[in-house]
Structure 1
Amino acid sequence: MSGISGEQGLTPVELGAYLALIEVSSLVRHAVEQQLQEAGNLSYVQFQLLATLGDAPTGNRRMTELADGVVYSRSGLTYQVGLLERAGLVTRSPSEEDERGITVTVTEAGRRVLAAVFPGHIAIVRQLLFDALDQNDVDDLARVLAKARDHMRTIPPRSAKPRRGAGRRSE
């Protein structure tokens, strides 16, 4: 048998879990994207970037750390950060630790946008995902997803792989 189920593929339970994960992820992401656009004129990736920066103790991160954290290509990240910078939500500057690197910092305007979108964001996530679960389910979900994420993080994302071509500015 070929495909993703069968002798060398996934068991029926594994296939069901995988398909449910894809569907849940798609449903939550679609609703979240709509809410982010309406409340803050943000894309999903832009929100991830702002939230990551807003959560950082110093309000900044290097571009490579951002790309790895949101699992996004360097060129795509550069474009998205550029849009956020033009909107006044972040600034870019040379990294203090590495002259080839770029540091992105959330601005006060960026923090205000985060504050504006977070209540609706949390409400959507709660309504779509957590309202259907009891506390034991949430604990199990958190444990299982953390275990899967931690395993996946042992395999460097594409953005973390060495770049070809020396002398190019590392973002």
Structure 2
Amino acid sequence: MAEALHPSQMRTYFALTEAASLLQYAVQQQLQAEGGLSYVQFEILAKLVDAGRPLTMTELADGVVYSRSGLTHQAGVLEADGLITRAPSTVDQRATVVTITKAGRRRLDKVLPGHIDVVRGLLFDTLSAQDVRTLGNLMTRVRDHMREQPPRSAAPRKSRGSAH
């Protein structure tokens, strides 16, 4: 049987998960109200702009914490709204390449100021510059440890209705 968490570990765990949930909820509300975007849709657009180039669906899946089918659905919604395009890769026939459109960049530009305000107001305004550096270092280490697992896009797909 696993050893129980130390009370300080339990407090830290609950504080972290609650803070992350509260921040994510506020961000989702802002993105929906100002741009009609879900957080995952915002993340897809932001990752495309940040990359400065089209990305494959696999690259997006490895960078976005979301199921493959959910990511495909969200990309379909963004494509239907004219915010991205998807096309077969000219290099790898199995890959789909995703490109942000001008409308997608405009939508991202529209929601970004409010997004920054929410993040700054809820997360960074209560922290000193040293706190931000410390938190950033700690969370980077934790994230990197979690990401040491194979990317989710490399995980075998579960077959549906298979009786094996």
Same-fold call, TM > 0.5? Answer: yes
SS of 1:88's partner is: coil
The root-mean-square deviation of aligned C-alpha atoms, in Å, is 1.6
Structure 2 CA distance, aligned partners of 1:131 and 1:78? 36
- Residue 49 of structure 2 corresponds to 54
Instruction: Select the residue among 12, 18, 26 that pairs with 1:31.
Output: 26
1:57 and 1:119 map into 2 onto residues whose CA distance is 20
Secondary structure (helix, strand or coil) at the match of 1:91 reads strand
Amino acid at match of 2:18: E
- CA contact 1:50–1:110 (8 Å) conserved in 2: yes
Residue of structure 2 in register with 1:13 after alignment: 8
State the aligned residue count. Answer: 159
1:74 paired residue among 47, 68, 77: 68
Aligned partner of 2:80 in structure 1 is 86
3-state secondary structure, aligned to 1:132: coil
Structure 2 length-normalised TM: 0.92
Asked if the contact 2:41/2:74 (under 8 Å) is kept, the reply is yes
Q: Mark the runs of 5 or more structure 2 residues left unpaired by the alignment.
A: 160-164
Corresponding residue number in structure 1 for 2:57: 63
Percentage of pairs with the same residue: 56
- Written as runs of structure 1 = structure 2, the 5 A alignment for 1:119-134 is 119-134=113-128
Range that drifts further, 69-78 or 138-147:
69-78
Cα distance in 1 for partners of 2:3, 2:80 equals 50
Give TM-score, length-normalised by structure 1: 0.88
**1:14-42 CA-partner distances (Å, limit 9, x unpaired):** 11111111011111011100100011100
Identify unmatched segments of 5+ residues in structure 1: 166-171
- Give 3-state SS (helix, strand or coil) of 2:97's partner: strand
> Deviations 1:40-62 (Å, cap 9, x if unpaired)?
1000111011110111121x111
Matched, 1:143 2:148: no
- Quote the offset at 1:161 in angstroms: 1.4
Q: Which residue does 1:158 correspond to in 2?
A: 152
Write the distance in 2 (CA, Å) between the matches of 1:162 and 1:97.
23
Partner of 1:168: none
Contact 2:61 2:152 in 1 (8 A): no
